[in-house]
Structure 1
């Protein structure tokens, strides 16, 4: 048998990260026992110690020795809770010219972060000082430093931008910092100590980079968080300390929260806090206090904040000791403390103060004492609004109805004069609670619940839409001019230090410009900040014989929403739970994911018939009456249900493959990113490309070209899975198994579509560089028949992609990655990915579509034929060639029906008894617009 192995917002603005934090990470301190009693009172002996230190300094000319004395004194003050005195000593370090410039630069950078909230002028002065001192740092001194000075002042610059609400500018600074650190880490000419300093930057700064990413780039944030966790656990040049490992876990908690995985986030933040305890970090250290605040927010989203009253007490005590913790998000912190104690009304009142004119005085000479309300488009407003909504919904004495829920949810669904492209990591928690309550609020409440479910799915795939918007703008000069004007105006507003009145004028200009763009280029506006459609709007896009089925699996309930052509709508609460569904999905996928096909006809090979029937009964049977007239069932979902292969569900229990009645025998399930994407695609039909096909098949993985097709056939590989050898020190791309049969597959499809021989590229021509340089916008079908690679499948390789011909380095230049794909310009009716796991979805709460499918949709594909597990050689060819043979022979047939007929034929034994098994035909699924 041949295997076809084609195979936070407020925290960012308000939390202080300074050198005080770093010093406490290496100095023994008292353990935290989750009680305010564990905090140390002010130590009156420390000032006496300062007198002794000053006497020593008068007789200590050596700069390093002077630094050690002052650093130790500052740490003692900090451990005693005398933070202001600790800061005062740190200022002495900066001003001491005998201390080497690198040490002073680090102090200046991190003190700048401490002052960023309430002293703009002092912060700017310290940043400039840090930058100057960094330039004066000698290579010899760099060898002695635990941190990179040029990276440290970027942290301060980012903090200053973030504390003024300019999140994209703050993120740019953090990205620049990470890029510098990665460059140093990969630089072979640098010493091990320099590599260690770079690793320290990457590890310690990861939570703050991730917390900024999640505001506008939540999928990227989770990807980076997972990569950092993997790197910390596996890379020998990382070797994190317990504290650094805790900081990486904290970053994952941010990312998981913003992707609707609060259970996973709670596990991550528990690990982070446990790590801080093991590292003897005091809770009044700002990073630790931030972790406590984050855990309270996560617990609130899970409905469990009452279990964390000890965290509330610790946070309250931390604020009483450290003024920088006390100044960080007062309203937010105090509202969380009230909520943990069950004082819901007080919590709601307190957070509401953050949403009006800011009451805190500011120490910026050009700003008034009261600031205007935060913009409803901004992430900070969304964060506080989500807190407020959760307080209202959790309050057992409250009376929250449809009007209150709609007032919170409706702005998030999109309006013509706003660009809702930011998010808050607690927003999903508020939305799920709102959905649960809305379903009991009659017909209008159920429509709102449907839109909330769609918002979840849209958030999980929004990156693809944004990429599509950028591509559209780049290709339209008039639009590009307006977009550049909008970006410049937004940048000027976000980076100016003008008075609020001036920025208010800028906001009005932006609103006018947004309306102009929406009027003249509605597709760009819909892609950039799409509206969540109502059932009526979605119904207008559906055709006869189609139905849209939305599933949302919440923590406490699962909902199904059915929309028919014309807008008829039905909402159903399903009698199952996410835990039960997860168990069944895992059981169903286990044998399919194992990659071991059955060897003889009738062999189940571990396939769970009971799970296939049980999932149908739990999910499809309750809506069967609603969808029975439809031939094509578009399914929008996310989380665990996004990993469910709906086409292998059984209508009724079966004891063998011979008596199996598959759901696909009566309907064709098609995956769709979300209803908004579907409406946009149907509302803006593109002209079909003129060329029938471009195909990339049988790549030359060793970089050599077979002399003839016959030679390639003689060298047919037996193993088709992507080769991974954990025992090898490095990955050898030359040993990737060749796939000569994929050339037969591609040429057969070309024949069905009346394409020329030149439309099939193979051997060394089937390369990444060839794909990247070609204009693919005139090809109706774009086919890749090769190995697929899943992110993390190869040690050290963290990207999903398609293996193409060897081009000199192997993985780095021979894999076509999702990052490459989004830059392509497609106008394809079909993209066919005849490779392993190209449609694999993690099943995590915030996931909806595979990385490769999102990339191809972003590049312009209308539909993508994907695989849900590793595919076997002959059956893969049978499916793809069969689909296009049927499709080409019947001009009236939809793409969905062409796939359905092919899979039904195989399930019914027409290709042979062995291929009745769903392992062979069920791997392929269609995503996108499945009409002709």
Structure 2
């Protein structure tokens, strides 16, 4: 956090803000993980415990002091003076352990019209947060409303004096209120996103002062952990990782942020959380270790909330990887912080904290008992779909699995896993996830089930499918929202479903409160017990009625709009269901790469499953895949025939041996092999694998000589596509090619100088803090490619848009639902590739601002209306995945699937122009000339011809043909 000038109004707010957070922690009950005191960048005493004074002895002096201060207030109308006097009074009530009177005085600050409106807004937001934590939602909402109104009335001059932007604070309070009062974690995410977007907008606004820029930078830095946590809890895992990695890049390259050591550590914590949610616990451990050392070097106190929270995250990583015994010192530090700091003591709850501490000591039964208590409370209060219930359920499962004295049965694992598989008619539309240790529990369950025979392995297969589904769920949810938005009847049902779901949450929370009251009446034998029982019974009836309404709506949506259900809450199919969707010449393979082993699951068209454990670790595969990709990722194609140009034939053969050879017998006779995977294996170009070592390209034995690998996000996507076939579109093609990156159209096509040798590399300067869109190299040859494909498909000339017409706005305004082939022949941009740019996209014609308005992003794509047999992305890197976490297929392909594409032809590295034209036109020429061929076979014929030298000896090299990946339904 940048250092702020200490004028009077700022000083009083920095006195008030920490009290609000500690006040909230003191009054919070046993809710777990809900409080978000992001205090890392504050002066270090903010995290210190409040001074405690005996209430009996302290109270009279505070009362006397209030009388004196009230008299001074009567005599003074200056707003800042009045605020300073009231802050002194708040502090004294707070020190006297009298939170009720402290809040009362703070409310008088909010209501005092002579105090500046911005200060009143900040105080109202803080109080709204405190009341939300206390579950006093009526007062919290009233104060949020006041905070918003006062923020709108704050004059620009006062904004220059405030230590925080009032809008940032009331959005945070709204987020907490949404989670607590309504159990709406999606709304909470939207509000915190809104605050981050506002901060980014303010940071980019050159008309604002340096002070406002500092506030914006601090908002982005201080809230990064909070935002990433909410993204993971809303099952937006890829989004969380992109955002965290983007902020990691920003703190090193954006000079406007100026992070201090504590804020840098906060970003590192956020990266760790994002990696945990993507099943990369080793990566998460690296970053949390780095963050903790950063806190230590910065002198953060051992009982500070931020330091304790980092210890907690490291303990969760250790739990997920069965290494808790190595982190006893962290458990002791966590407990020490809780004994001093009331925020730490309440966040998470005592029972959850105690369970982890007991587990580090190997006391598994007591750890299980402790977590079960808080889990039961949250289950009663929030329901099974709460992210806190989900991660605490995963903790409970891990305690059982890691207890060497206990044998966890297949039925126990099944009871834990089955609710996540989405097979029930009354499906989970919450979109929430546990994030912290859920993947660790699933991975351990999968490993255990592999030794439990056919039934256990069938369940292990479905767990592997869960990993791939989770990696794509954010894009699928976006697609569901888009589908509802353009379908009026579905939109009406979805709105009713959301209202019914929220009504059920409200009824559940009301029942929880009444049940607690009944228990108190029963225990103390006071009050109207009969009335309390009647209230509970009425609440139970109301909640059951809400549940019935919700189930009825789910049934209607499921029957009338099964594709929506398949997007928002996809069911994980059984091997038998997958087999029923396969054609006789197809096989489905699911790879899950674990920390210690890799698992392959093969399903054939008869529905039989072969599951096997492969003796290769994630680290081993990463090393081999990086070796194989080095030559391709360099972006320099071979210049002469026979030149390997760095292509490692040994790695290509070794990867086939490690992954495919053990299951090759299951693939015999299959012309198409659907492959689902995530993580590092997503970046493996399966097409270039070799079945045996070779010394030169002419003698190479390529795997694609007998079968064609096709990528698929997961089995559910294939089953859904084939369960609800769509009518094919009428028009043959719409193509966007040769965009005008400088915003001008050339007079003629020939005006472009054409160099067909280099790869279509995107111009990136990793050391630059900004990017000039005008520097993007033109691609005139892509127009030749598009027109050639149009001719092959008998498409009219107007189906190819180029120059200024190949623009983002042109794409988004068109109805593309009647085009069988949708082609983008341009540069692809990978998330994080361009400085400051966090989204994958397609570079289209310049429209005034460059990246912000000229790139078609995944967010844009999910709103398109497609009914395409093919989407072709003839661009560089459109299929690239990071491989460092939970990617299933590229962000762009996920978006196109959500928009309605059935199959996608995309590239994994910077393709060379002439070979790109040969491959894409060749695929469609073969496909059009032989109606018996599938899409996979058309691509296979094209790649085989090129690999065999039919297009010239130079083009034997896999750089030219191996970049292409077919994803989705590859049948005709």
Query: TM-score when scaled to structure 2?
Result: 0.86
Residue of structure 2 in register with 1:361 after alignment: none
CA contact (8 A) 1:15 1:325 kept: no
Deviates more, 1:863-872 or 1:184-193: 184-193
Q: Give the Cα separation in 1 of the matches to 2:96 and 2:471.
A: 42
1:446 paired with 2:457, answer: yes
Question: How far apart are residue 492 of structure 1 and its match?
Answer: 4.1
SS in 1 for 2:965: strand
Query: Out of 396, 417, 433, which is 1:388 matched to?
Result: 396
- Pairing of 1:732-747 with structure 2 (within 5 A): 732-747=772-787
Residue of structure 1 in register with 2:217 after alignment: 199
Residue of structure 1 in register with 2:380 after alignment: 372
CA contact (8 A) 1:563 1:569 kept: yes
Q: 1:842 to 1:18 in 2, by over 3 A?
A: closer
Q: Give the Cα separation in 2 of the matches to 1:70 and 1:264.
A: 48
Q: 1:531 to 1:826 in 2, by over 3 A?
A: same
Q: Give the Cα separation in 1 of the matches to 2:332 and 2:93.
A: 23
Gaps of 5+ in 2: 1-28, 513-538
SS in 2 for 1:658: helix
Query: Out of 418, 427, 430, which is 2:427 matched to?
Result: 418
Query: TM-score when scaled to structure 1?
Result: 0.90
Q: 1:481 to 1:127 in 2, by over 3 A?
A: closer
CA contact (8 A) 1:66 1:99 kept: yes
Q: 1:92 to 1:267 in 2, by over 3 A?
A: farther
Q: 1:728 to 1:511 in 2, by over 3 A?
A: closer
Q: Give the Cα separation in 2 of the matches to 1:41 and 1:926.
A: 64
What number of residue pairs does the alignment pair up? Answer: 897
CA contact (8 A) 1:747 1:760 kept: yes
CA contact (8 A) 1:24 1:281 kept: no
- Pairing of 1:164-175 with structure 2 (within 5 A): 164=181, 165-175=183-193
- Pairing of 1:625-640 with structure 2 (within 5 A): 625-640=665-680
Question: How far apart are residue 527 of structure 1 and its match?
Answer: 2.2
1:338 paired with 2:350, answer: no
Residue of structure 1 in register with 2:16 after alignment: none
Deviates more, 1:338-347 or 1:171-180: 171-180
Q: 1:150 to 1:699 in 2, by over 3 A?
A: closer
Q: 1:12 to 1:469 in 2, by over 3 A?
A: farther
Residue of structure 2 in register with 1:247 after alignment: 266
Residue of structure 2 in register with 1:314 after alignment: 333
Q: Give the Cα separation in 2 of the matches to 1:131 and 1:186.
A: 23
Residue of structure 1 in register with 2:686 after alignment: 646
CA contact (8 A) 2:40 2:306 kept: no
Q: Give the Cα separation in 2 of the matches to 1:647 and 1:430.
A: 33
Q: Give the Cα separation in 2 of the matches to 1:278 and 1:94.
A: 39
Question: How far apart are residue 638 of structure 1 and its match?
Answer: 0.4
Q: 1:911 to 1:197 in 2, by over 3 A?
A: same
Q: 1:915 to 1:75 in 2, by over 3 A?
A: farther
Kindly provide the CA deviation profile for residues 70-128 of structure 1, in whole angstroms up to 9, marking residues without a partner as x.
979999999xxx79479977875664668655345434433543443334156456545
- Pairing of 1:530-929 with structure 2 (within 5 A): 530-712=570-752, 720-725=760-765, 730-929=770-969
Q: Give the Cα separation in 2 of the matches to 1:785 and 1:710.
A: 18
Query: Out of 302, 323, 326, which is 1:304 matched to?
Result: 323
Residue of structure 1 in register with 2:12 after alignment: none
Kindly provide the CA deviation profile for residues 159-182 of structure 1, in whole angstroms up to 9, marking residues without a partner as x.
232234321232232233223323
Q: Give the Cα separation in 2 of the matches to 1:23 and 1:729.
A: 25
Gaps of 5+ in 1: 1-9, 31-38, 359-370
Residue of structure 1 in register with 2:230 after alignment: 212
Q: Give the Cα separation in 2 of the matches to 1:313 and 1:133.
A: 44
Question: How far apart are residue 135 of structure 1 and its match?
Answer: 5.2
Question: How far apart are residue 468 of structure 1 and its match?
Answer: 3.3
Q: Give the Cα separation in 1 of the matches to 2:784 and 2:149.
A: 64
Q: Give the Cα separation in 1 of the matches to 2:652 and 2:583.
A: 29
Q: Give the Cα separation in 2 of the matches to 1:321 and 1:727.
A: 45
CA contact (8 A) 2:93 2:101 kept: no
Question: How far apart are residue 930 of structure 1 and its match?
Answer: 0.7
CA contact (8 A) 1:25 1:280 kept: no
Q: Give the Cα separation in 1 of the matches to 2:305 and 2:130.
A: 10
Residue of structure 2 in register with 1:513 after alignment: 553
SS in 2 for 1:571: strand
Q: 1:590 to 1:293 in 2, by over 3 A?
A: same
CA contact (8 A) 1:25 1:281 kept: no
Q: Give the Cα separation in 1 of the matches to 2:326 and 2:446.
A: 24
Question: How far apart are residue 341 of structure 1 and its match?
Answer: 1.8
CA contact (8 A) 1:557 1:573 kept: yes
Kindly provide the CA deviation profile for residues 445-472 of structure 1, in whole angstroms up to 9, marking residues without a partner as x.
0000000000100111123332333343
1:16 paired with 2:35, answer: yes
Residue of structure 2 in register with 1:427 after alignment: 438
SS in 1 for 2:300: coil
- Pairing of 1:58-457 with structure 2 (within 5 A): 84=97, 95=108, 100-120=116-136, 123-124=140-141, 126-127=143-144, 130-131=147-148, 134=151, 137-164=154-181, 165-216=183-234, 217-328=236-347, 329-357=349-377, 372=380, 374-414=382-422, 415-419=424-428, 421-425=431-435, 426-457=437-468
CA contact (8 A) 2:638 2:645 kept: yes
SS in 1 for 2:690: coil
Kindly provide the CA deviation profile for residues 553-610 of structure 1, in whole angstroms up to 9, marking residues without a partner as x.
0111110000000201100111211111111011101111011111211111111111
Question: How far apart are residue 786 of structure 1 and its match?
Answer: 1.4
SS in 1 for 2:426: coil
Q: Give the Cα separation in 2 of the matches to 1:28 and 1:113.
A: 17
SS in 2 for 1:248: helix
Task: Specify which structure has the bigger relative contact order, considering alpha-carbon pairs within 8 angstroms and separated by 6 or more residues.
Answer: 1
RMSD across aligned C-alpha pairs, in angstroms? 3.2
Question: How far apart are residue 889 of structure 1 and its match?
Answer: 1.3
Q: 1:83 to 1:201 in 2, by over 3 A?
A: farther
SS in 1 for 2:710: strand
Q: Give the Cα separation in 1 of the matches to 2:949 and 2:705.
A: 13
CA contact (8 A) 2:40 2:266 kept: no
